[in-house]
Amino acid sequence: MSLVNHRRTLLPETFSSGLNLNALRRHPAGNILIIFTLLEIICIIAAIGYPDQFRYLSPLNIQSVLRAIPQLGIIAVGVGILMIAGEYDLSVGATFTLSALSMANLFNSGTPLGLAVAGGLLTGLIVGAINGLITLKAKIPSFITTLGMMMLLRGFILFSSGTQTRPFHPGSFFETMMTGSAGLIQFSFIWLLLVTLAAYLLMDHHRLGNHIYAVGGNREAATSIGVKVFRVKLSAFIIAGGAAALSGMISTVRVSSVSPIQGQGLELQAIAACVIGGISLYGGKGSMIGVFLGSALLYNIQDILLLLRAPGFYLDAFIGAIILVAATLNRLIQKEP
Amino acid sequence: MPQIDSEFIGESNLIELRGITKKFANVVALDHVDFEIRANEVLGLLGDNGAGKSTLVKIISGVLATDEGAVFQAGRQVNLSSHADAAKLGIETIYQDAALVNSLSIYRNMFLGREQTAAFGFLRRQSMKKKTMEILASSVQISGVVSPDQIVGGLSGGQRQAVAIARAVHFRKKMLLLDEPTSALSVRETENVLDYMLQLKRDGVSCVFVTHNLYQAYRVCDRFVVLSHGRKVQDVIKNDTSIEELTAVIVQR
């Protein structure tokens, strides 16, 4: 730190942002972006070289991948925002089902579709708000609060609707809007892109996003500078609940029914997608593009294994290995000065 | 030894605390302490560990409420029971680990809680980035900071302190409380922080330098307040004392 010449050092490079591999790697989503791109390049080359053995680029495969990603992706965006705020939500899988069930039950009992959808979304927002209120007011770790909420909701779902699958046929316009397709483009994937974009704008271009990073990154600093920690964290809980509801409703439209066991395991997959995408387990760090790529990578690898005709039990093992590698990599990167 | 008495009330006081008492269970952390910050001074708040320095800093920064005592500014009694109150009175506290979010960039820290926003709360990022570089170039001078997008966690301890100080100065604080600002710094960075304090005094910002390093305090401070077991045992201007005398006051009892 010298007091001379500082003006010169401050000047020209300030706003340059050329492509720089080191800078990219320092970005929270940099590593996942590099890994994802490499994987895609390898797969595309392999698919062009062996189009019959490795049908990666077949329209059917592309469609099925694009259809599969949004369910996890939309949940993971909400969970990622909450993790950046320094909290967890293990109840998103159950919220996913409960919201879809609320929507289907409302619609099947004669409520107009728009209100039924609003009811489903509201269910998710309310569950998120309750999670947040209990966690923040009673000062319980959110891991515990939302674990309790997950089991409570699962029990409630089974109690209220048994093990039966509920049909949901909202009509073709709505179905097309949520889960239709035009050529290779899947509308549910467009929803994921929109949700990711909205989340990116929130986290990087909005005041609330700045505060979410701050309360997760250094709660004391945020408090001492006057950031309303309670309000900010509560918002993040509500966002996570809302994202789970949205994903649940879109998935329900896709399969035209709600099953009580739908959504089980999504809570952990969402955290996995976030970790792979570079979200810190300690809060304050991560990016929405990373969460998107994390979700995409999870399904991509499943898809590749399926195309290679790997036995089913390999899938979980591979995903597990990826999570371990990703978490370790992120930890190592964080240690860098 | 000459005592500057606590009835000193004048235009030059930026804030005055009278009869401040704070108890934690049965422990009296502060016992009827009178304390004022004057215009254009660097004030050394000294004392051994457990003397009550941190408690007093927390009270002045609005983090802790007093059990007894009153706070005055410009002759009128004022409320000082929250961080927002302290901010309104023009007080900013810079803690050891600087109140910055390490995972955020410099500009996002600089404007944290006072973001410049356009409609619907969206950030005016370019404007904030530009302003950040202006602030860093003008108020406190830091080398090694080349971009407002640099992540604060990647800066050195001294650079972080400087960013925190620059933030306080920019938001027109009249008083800076620096709580052990040099304890985690290298020798060179310490020199810089000490220089900042003198520079801030020239710019009309008073600093309270909380430390138990008497030699650093003696270099930059104009006045010294010594706490011992929750009591103010010394309040003296530099010309009327010496390192030896201050040492004796601090270590006695």
ipTM of the complex: 0.80
**Chain A interface disruption, residue of B95, B112, B145, most A CBs within 10 A:** B112
Per-residue pLDDT of A191-223, as tens digits, reads 999 999 999 999 999 999 999 999 999 998 888
Minimal Cα–Cα distance from B233 to chain A, Å?
Answer: 30
User: Across the interface, which of B102, B141, B146 has its CB nearest the CB of A217?
Assistant: B102
Name, of A164-168, A199-203, B161-165, the range with top average pLDDT.
Answer: A199-203
CB contact under 8 A, A6 and B137: yes
Contacts of A2 in chain B (CB under 8 A): 143
Are the Cβ atoms of A214 and B148 closer than 8 angstroms?
A: no
pLDDT of residue A181: 86
Annotate B21-36 with DSSP letters as a single string. EEEETTEEEEEEEEEE
Cβ <8 Å between B101 and A13 = no
Task: Give the number of other Cβ atoms within 10 Å of residue B72's Cβ.
Answer: 16
Work out the minimum CA distance from A7 to partner chain B, whole angstroms.
6
For residue B183, give the nearest of B99, B96, B250 by alpha carbon: B96
Residues in chain A with CB shorter than 8 Å from the CB of B182 are none
Residues 38-67 of B with CB under 8 A from A: 61, 63
pLDDT of residue B165: 81
Contact assignment for A227 to B103 by CB distance below 8 Å: no
Q: How far is A203 from chain B (nearest CA, A)?
A: 10
Residue in A14, A15, A206 nearest the CB of B122: A206
> Which of A1, A7, A206 shows the shortest C-beta gap to B123?
A206
Task: Band the pLDDT of A6: cuts 50, 70, 90.
Answer: very low
Query: Which of A62, A76, A105, A32 has the alpha carbon at shortest distance from A265?
Result: A76
Point out the least confidently predicted range of A207-216, B28-37, B142-151.
Answer: B142-151
Residue ranges of E strands in B142-240: 175-179, 206-210, 223-228, 231-237
Tokens standing for residue B28: 């009296």
pLDDT score of A262:
85
Residue A127 has pLDDT above 70, yes or no: yes
Q: What's the pLDDT at B97?
A: 64
Position A129 scores a pLDDT of 98
| Partner-chain contact A224 B83, CB within 8 Å | yes
Alpha-carbon distances of B252 from A227, B216, B232, B237, B245, rounded to whole Å:
42, 20, 13, 20, 11
Q: In Å, what is the CA distance from B29 to each residue of A79, B20, B57?
A: 43, 10, 12
Please tell me the distance from the alpha carbon of residue A82 to that of residue B73, in angstroms, as a whole number. 42
Note the pLDDT of residue A290: 94
When pLDDT is cut at 50, 70 and 90, the band that residue A17 belongs to is very low
Please name the member of A1, A7, A337 whose beta carbon is closest to the beta carbon of B154.
A337
Contacts of A9 in chain B (CB under 8 A): 143-146
Look up residue B154 and give its amino acid: G
What rounded mean pLDDT belongs to chain A? 88
Say if CB A38 and CB A44 are below 8 A apart. no
B196 contact A CB<8A: no
Distance from C-alpha of B102 to C-alpha of A244, rounded to nearest angstrom: 30
Residue A182 predicted with pLDDT over 80: yes
CB contact under 8 A, A213 and B103: yes
Establish if A12 touches chain B: CB-CB under 8 angstroms. no
Q: In angstroms, rounded to a whole number, what is the distance separating the alpha carbons of residues A258 and A249?
A: 9
Query: Strand, coil or helix: what is A251?
Result: helix
Q: Does B188 touch chain A (CB under 8 A)?
A: yes
Residue range A138-161, pLDDT digits in tens: 999 999 999 999 999 999 999 988
pTM for the whole structure: 0.84
Residue of B nearest to A229 (CA): B113
Q: What is the pLDDT of residue B4?
A: 41
Chain B contact for A226 (CB, 8 A cutoff): yes
Q: Show which of residues 257-286 on chain A sit within 8 Å of chain B, judged by CB atoms.
A: 280, 284-285
B99 interface with A at CB cutoff 8 Å: yes
Q: Answer yes or no: do A224 and B143 touch at CB < 8 A.
A: no
d(CA B130, CA B138): 12
Query: Residue A2 pLDDT > 50, yes or no?
Result: no
Tell me how close the Cα of B231 comes to any Cα of chain A, in angstroms.
Answer: 27
Nearest residue of B to residue A213 by CA position? B104
CB pairs under 8 A between A and B: 113
